[in-house]
């Protein structure tokens, strides 16, 4: 097998920097992506019809292996779309074997409080970098934005008279996302400090802050807060947003809208966090439980 194509190398570099992927993980992604390219040609330009042939080529593999390979390709195609290297998404043509879905990583309320306490302490200095970090953190956890949605926010997305952000999510779908009072206050502190000529809410070097830099900044903040940096990422904070809202009694359909999920099945993975509350509810409110207490 020859060397991987340039888009695969760029994708692996993103995984290493943004998600802190280990060497073994990167090697596994490389094997899966290079193996797919050997079967269908360069993935960055492979038509959907070619991608659909992978299901037959993988027919003899275990469902878990097929699921892993499909996941690697879906993430890769998502990366290509985000980077403007593909206009279409051929990933629906990939096989979807039935496997147990992994639960998202979550942070405890105490860990969130520790992270915010450190961010607020650093932002008290008034330095633009620290004030920006607090605003980023508030929007990640307070509004559940994806990393790409957050860093690419234009200034025009921040309204002057309504507590909502206009966010463009996957597939170019726009949605309204509430801004908490805390996030609004953090943004009010940040706006006077940003580059006034930039169209981006979080400008950096003539463009906007990158996802990779956002990931690095969160790791640095976690280290300063005495938390394990391996547990912190934009994805984890988005998961914490969803998890803690459900714990507080949020409706699943509302959460679907806030997260920008096209399919509620994607949102339902967060229902695992409410298991303890549901068990307690059954034990306390079920008619048999009432009878047992009376006896």
Which residues are tagged catalytic?
146, 170, 235, 238, 261, 270
Supply 74's token pair: 């879906």
Dihedral angle at the C-alpha atoms of 239, 243, 245, 248, nearest 10 degrees? -160
* 165 strand-pairing partners: 177
Is residue 237 within 8 A of residue 136, CB to CB? The reply is no
How many Å apart are CA 143 and CA 170, to the nearest integer? Answer: 16
Bridge-partner residues for 174, per DSSP?
168
Q: What Rg do the C-alpha atoms of the chain give, in angstroms? A: 22
């Amino acid at each position: 097998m020859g060397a991987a194509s340039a888009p695969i190398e760029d994708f692996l570099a993103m995984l290493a920097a943004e998600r802190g992927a280990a060497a073994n993980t990167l090697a596994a992604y490389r094997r899966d992506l290079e193996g797919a390219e050997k079967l269908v040609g360069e993935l960055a330009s492979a038509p959907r019809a070619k991608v659909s042939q992978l299901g037959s080529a993988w027919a003899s593999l275990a469902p878990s292996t097929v699921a892993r390979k499909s996941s690697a390709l879906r993430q890769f195609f998502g990366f290509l779309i985000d980077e403007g290297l593909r206009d279409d998404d051929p990933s629906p043509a990939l096989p979807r074997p039935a496997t147990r879905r992994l639960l998202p990583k979550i942070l405890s309320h105490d860990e969130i409080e520790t992270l915010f306490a450190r961010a607020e302490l650093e932002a008290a200095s008034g330095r633009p970098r620290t004030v920006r970090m607090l605003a980023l953190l508030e929007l990640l956890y307070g509004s559940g934005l994806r990393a790409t949605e957050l860093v690419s926010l234009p200034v025009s997305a921040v309204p002057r008279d309504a507590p909502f952000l206009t966010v463009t999510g996957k597939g170019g779908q726009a949605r309204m996302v509430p801004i908490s009072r805390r996030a609004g206050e953090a943004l009010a502190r940040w706006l006077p400090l940003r580059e006034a000529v930039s169209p981006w809410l979080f400008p950096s070097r003539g463009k906007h802050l990158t996802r990779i830099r956002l990931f690095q900044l969160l790791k640095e903040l976690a280290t300063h807060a005495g938390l394990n940096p391996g547990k912190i990422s934009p994805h984890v904070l988005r998961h914490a947003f969803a998890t803690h809202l459900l714990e507080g009694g949020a409706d699943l359909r509302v959460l679907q809208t806030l997260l920008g999920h096209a399919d509620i099945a994607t949102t339902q993975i967060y229902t695992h966090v409410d298991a303890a509350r549901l068990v307690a509810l059954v034990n306390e409110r079920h008619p048999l439980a009432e009878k047992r207490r009376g006896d």
